[in-house]
Structure 1
Amino acid sequence: MRQAIETLTIQTRRKGLIPITESVAAFVADSDIETGLLTLWCRHTSASLVVQENADPTVRTDIERYFDALVPEDHPYIHDYEGPDDMPAHLRTVLTQTQMSIPVSGGQMVLGTWQGLYLFEHRRHPHRRSVVMHLMGE
């Protein structure tokens, strides 16, 4: 059994879904692990990870709009230390996930035809985000 671990740093510009599939796939390929389990861990409470369609960008637009409607910034939240997008960002993270596991076979992630990996930035302003990639296998 072998392991590989690396931190992926993503510079965000705004709220939204940021594709990370290519960067994660490169990590898997460079690991020389053929069969195993990849774990991704987002080290934040106002950003998350999602698996979503990677073919039609309007899917991402609709998801972003849905979350804006589901968790509006103009609600009278108590927690607002970092501005009006602070608490909504935490709630959006609760509704998604900060960790995911993806099987690896043949040295590649086992994703469906239209699946892509995304960091979901929930804050309006630019942030530097970290996703830990840990792969165990043979």
Structure 2
Amino acid sequence: MWHQKQISVGSKSRGCHLITDDILKQLPEIKNLKVGLLHLFMQHTSAGLTLNENWDSDVRLDMADSLSRIAPEGNMYRHDAEGADDMPAHIKSSLVGASVSIPISNGALATGTWQGIWLCEFRAGRHTRRILATIQGE
């Protein structure tokens, strides 16, 4: 079985946000699979997806702070069409990545005990983000 659909994650401010529950609510098809794979693809160039800590929110804050040190805002970039956070957002998106793949086992995501899906928003303004979800399994 293959299934694909575009899902949305509500408006988020800059930072790293745990969205595992948002994803599962929009993909009830996962519950019907004994074995499979979920691929999530972020359809934007100023946000990213990753798997990381799902319990301590300080990890998300530390990650956002660290990425801001790696790609700070400032007048050092040529590309600033949408403001001072434009090019830093693209850099952070490339570093974090635009997709994750997660195994499905017995109707659930086969993540580790402390793993969750993060949406990393790199723009200052709040954005609703589109994610293309592809599910393969039986």
Query: Structure 1 residue runs of 4+, over 2 Å off?
Result: 23-31
Q: Is the 8 A contact 2:41 2:98 kept in 1?
A: yes
Tell me whether 1:23 sits opposite 2:22 in the alignment: yes
**Residue of structure 1 in register with 2:68 after alignment:** 68
Unaligned runs of 5+ in 2: none
**Residue of structure 2 in register with 1:5 after alignment:** 4
1:5: how far off?
1.9
Unaligned runs of 5+ in 1: none
Tell me whether 1:109 sits opposite 2:109 in the alignment: yes
Secondary structure in structure 2 of the residue aligned to 1:88: helix
Are the structure 2 counterparts of residues 97 and 22 from structure 1 closer, same or farther at C-alpha, using a change threshold of 3 Å? same
1:30: how far off?
3.2
**Residue of structure 2 in register with 1:44 after alignment:** 44
Give the CA RMSD over aligned residues.
1.4
**Residue of structure 2 in register with 1:122 after alignment:** 122
1:28: how far off?
4.7
Aligned residues: 137
Secondary structure in structure 1 of the residue aligned to 2:16: strand
One-letter amino acid matched to 2:95: L
Deviations 1:59-91 (A, max 9, x none): 111111111111100141000000000000000
Q: Among all aligned residue pairs of Structure 1 and Structure 2, give the percentage whose two residues are the same amino acid.
A: 36
CA distance in 1, matches of 2:134, 2:26: 9
CA distance in 2, matches of 1:11, 1:106: 28
Secondary structure in structure 2 of the residue aligned to 1:12: strand
Q: Is the 8 A contact 2:39 2:102 kept in 1?
A: yes
**Residue of structure 1 in register with 2:58 after alignment:** 58
